[in-house]
Structure 1
Amino acid sequence: MESSTGGPDRRRRRARRRPLLSAALVAVVIGGVTAGGTVYVKARAHDGGRTVSSRVQAVQKEASVEPVTRPAVDRTALLGTAMKAVDVPSGAAVSAAVLDLDSGESAVYGQGAFDTASIVKADILAALLLRAQDEGRHLTATEKAYAVKMIESSDNASATALWNTVGGAEGLDAANARFGLTGTSAGANGLWGLTRTTAKDQLTLLRQVFGTDSKLTSASRAYLRELMESVDAGQRWGVSAAAGSGVTALKNGWLPRSTTGLWVVNSIGRVEAADGSVYLVAVLSRGTATQAAGISLVESAARAAVGAFADPA
């Protein structure tokens, strides 16, 4: 028989108190963790002669490590430096613009407006799609037939038909104002190939086609992208020179000027680089003696423009 004041009961009661001390310590430690990750130790306790503060100190040490921030990159300066390595023939001019779709960073090289030649056909189709949206309808079978030939084969007669459908120069200018093209002026007297534009504006147009913040619906964008991904094999030059193995969507333009005998050669589109990064690229040129020289210039500029957006590290 055990005494009412006997030791065993008292020892059991004392033993039950020990976990409360550990729980209290946990509460102190948890209460000392701030939103910024800093740990403030308000007390140190021992349980059976073993300190429990070492783990807290380890957390505190880890929390004191400052995050590493990457320095800002001047893409415009990098693009300018890259373009200096491009061999521009005497008397010729080139302008380039590029946008990294992943980061949203962009840069433009070169000033002034250039004749569009056939790259305006992508703009004409964008204007037609916007007009159809406004009218609450789909493209007609005839319009689709013209659109396919205009983009995939760069057919001029189809471009003229759709140019008239969108309202000619006035209609294209009105659509471009809604798209945000501020430096583009539609060709007068039905000469759509002499529409004047800038590399910056062509990048804005590409964002309407390949971006999500667009006046075009997702269905309209998908339709135009599909046609740009399906241009004839003989026309898959230009910005595609900067692509890796991914799908390229593009529209090219080429035009010998009767007044000078010199060539206008342009290329716009979406390319996937060898590292998987995706870019929108516009390259405009004028003043080369031959079409081949213009293509070489545009492709060199496209590679330089995309290369300028490679990770400096």
Structure 2
Amino acid sequence: MLNRLRPVPRPRTGALLVSAATLLSAGALGAAAPAHAEDASRVTAAVLPLDGTRQEPVLYGADTPYDTASIIKVDILATALLQAQDAGRSLTARERGWAEPMIRESDNAAANALWRQIGRAPGLAAANKRLGLTETQGGPGAKWGLTRTTASDQIRLLRAVFDPPKQGRAALSEQSRSYLRGLMNNVDDAQAWGVSAAGSASGTALKNGWLQRSTTGLWDVNSVGRITVGGHPYLVAVLSDGNASMSDGVSLVQRTARTAVSSAAGA
């Protein structure tokens, strides 16, 4: 059973002061690397207004692939929900016990369990074909955090959850969409940063991801979700890599989200 839903709060500085040891998952995400890595950051954003006629997102930066880190957890749960629908059932109590901390707290052990259950990358690929994703490739073996995706593909996934087709049958049922939206709208306070910085305190749903690459010591920092700006809803995906620190990546993602949403509002 879900806890009572509450709006995602605005980002707090204290939420970013998390020890790096708590942010890494051996196997799924990778090991820590030497500090003092040189910043070589890049960033891409995609923004789609939901109350207009636009079908493709406004892009900010090159729409090239990035590591997902923990934003893949939305896709993992969408896949699990789709597989449960195919079997004519809802998620089991055990599956819900994995899903809630995976989304709300970004729990990696829960993600490991659901990643195995969905059939890892092949299971993800089969679901993504039905969800409309075309540029996402599941990570090798147990390494779901090394799934590769683009900002525009993340908008396609968000549309499958928040803005299903007006005609024809949506891949995810309303029950499945509502369940996933509810979890994204109820993330833990420590997770409340990212694209939410570009919107109001209410009406926000999001999932963030962060990963320090063992090969370079640089950080992937990503954020995806639905926000409300001036009473208008937007789907937003911001992907970045090459950040010298997690806090640098969070700042870059939040600045980019604000700029990209402002640009999309005027497009």
* TM-score using structure 2 length: 0.81
Question: Which whole-Å CA distance do the structure 2 matches of 1:283 and 1:171 have between them?
Answer: 25
Q: Match for 2:247 among 292, 295, 312?
A: 292
Matched, 1:307 2:258: no
Question: Which whole-Å CA distance do the structure 1 matches of 2:90 and 2:187 have between them?
Answer: 22
Aligned pairs for 1:196-275 (under 5 A) are: 196-213=148-165, 214-273=170-229, 275=230
Structure 1 residue 311: Cα displacement: 4.2
Question: Which 4+ runs in 1 deviate beyond 3 A?
Answer: none
Tell me which of the two structures has the higher relative contact order, counting C-alpha pairs closer than 8 angstroms and 6 or more residues apart.
2
Residue 128 of structure 2 is matched in structure 1 by 176
Deviations 1:160-201 (A, max 9, x none): 100111111110011111111111100012100000000000
Deviations 1:25-71 (A, max 9, x none): xxxxxxxxxxxxxxxxxxxxxxxxxxxxxxxxxxxxxxxxxxxxxxx
Give the letter aligned to residue 120 of structure 2.
G
Deviations 1:62-101 (A, max 9, x none): xxxxxxxxxxxxxxxxxxxxxxxxxxx9521101101000
Residue 192 of structure 1 is matched in structure 2 by 144
Q: Match for 1:156 among 62, 87, 108?
A: 108
SS of alignment partner, residue 222 of structure 1 = helix
**Which has more helix, going by share of residues?**
1
Question: Which whole-Å CA distance do the structure 2 matches of 1:218 and 1:146 have between them?
Answer: 21
- Higher radius of gyration, 1 or 2: 1
Question: Which whole-Å CA distance do the structure 1 matches of 2:266 and 2:121 have between them?
Answer: 41
Residue 135 of structure 1 is matched in structure 2 by 87
Aligned pairs for 1:86-125 (under 5 A) are: 91-105=40-54, 106-109=57-60, 110-125=62-77
SS of alignment partner, residue 308 of structure 1 = helix
Residue 66 of structure 1 is matched in structure 2 by none
Give the letter aligned to residue 102 of structure 1.
D
Aligned residues: 223
What RMSD over aligned residues (CA atoms) do the two structures have, in Å?
Answer: 1.2
Question: Which whole-Å CA distance do the structure 2 matches of 1:111 and 1:250 have between them?
Answer: 20
Structure 2, gaps ≥5 residues long: 1-37
SS of alignment partner, residue 217 of structure 2 = coil
Structure 1 residue 305: Cα displacement: 1.2
Structure 1 residue 295: Cα displacement: 0.1
Question: Which whole-Å CA distance do the structure 2 matches of 1:220 and 1:163 have between them?
Answer: 18
* TM-score using structure 1 length: 0.70
Question: Which whole-Å CA distance do the structure 2 matches of 1:104 and 1:262 have between them?
Answer: 39
